């Protein structure tokens, strides 16, 4: 569902894929509808690629039961070695 703006003067509606900074700042246009945020609930996270950032690997390690401080202390190669293989 796109972002929908309505013009108070003319009743015109504009349907856009992205939010418009310009229309947000015009007094005669108002946002009347916007997309629902994507729900991550119930979706299983996927193992990061080797090119992913260390932060993504730390998050993956935490998802797999490692303490946050312990995961942050590991290097990216250590994280990949430990959590980069399919179960």
Instruction: Convert the pLDDT of each residue in 21-34 to its tens digit.
Output: 999 999 999 999 98
Range of the domain at 13: 3-33
Residue 63 lies in a domain: yes
Is 82 domain-assigned?
A: yes
Kindly state whether residue 38 falls inside one of the protein's structural domains.
no
**Order of strands, edge to edge, in the sheet holding 3-7?**
13-16, 3-7, 29-33
Phi, psi dihedral angles at 3 (to 5 degrees): -80, 130
pLDDT at 1: 66
Same domain, residue pair 73 and 53: yes
> Which pLDDT does position 26 carry in this prediction?
95
Q: pTM of this prediction? A: 0.50
Q: What are phi and psi of 6, to 5 degrees?
A: -125, 135
Q: Are residues 86 and 61 in the same domain?
A: yes
Whether residue 39 lies inside any domain: the answer is no
- Asked if residue 54 and residue 28 are part of one domain, the reply reads no
Tell me the torsion sign for CA atoms 49, 53, 57, 63. negative
Q: Are residues 52 and 80 in the same domain?
A: yes
Domain count within the chain: 2
């Amino acid at each position: 569902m796109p972002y929908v703006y309505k013009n108070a003067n003319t009743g015109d509606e504009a349907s856009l894929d992205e939010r418009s900074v310009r229309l947000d700042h015009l007094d005669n246009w108002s946002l009347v509808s916007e997309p629902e945020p994507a729900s991550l609930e119930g979706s299983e996270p996927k193992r990061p690629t080797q090119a992913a950032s260390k932060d993504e690997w730390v998050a993956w390690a935490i998802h797999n039961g490692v303490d946050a401080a312990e995961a942050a202390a590991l290097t990216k190669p250590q994280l990949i070695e430990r959590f980069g293989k399919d179960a």
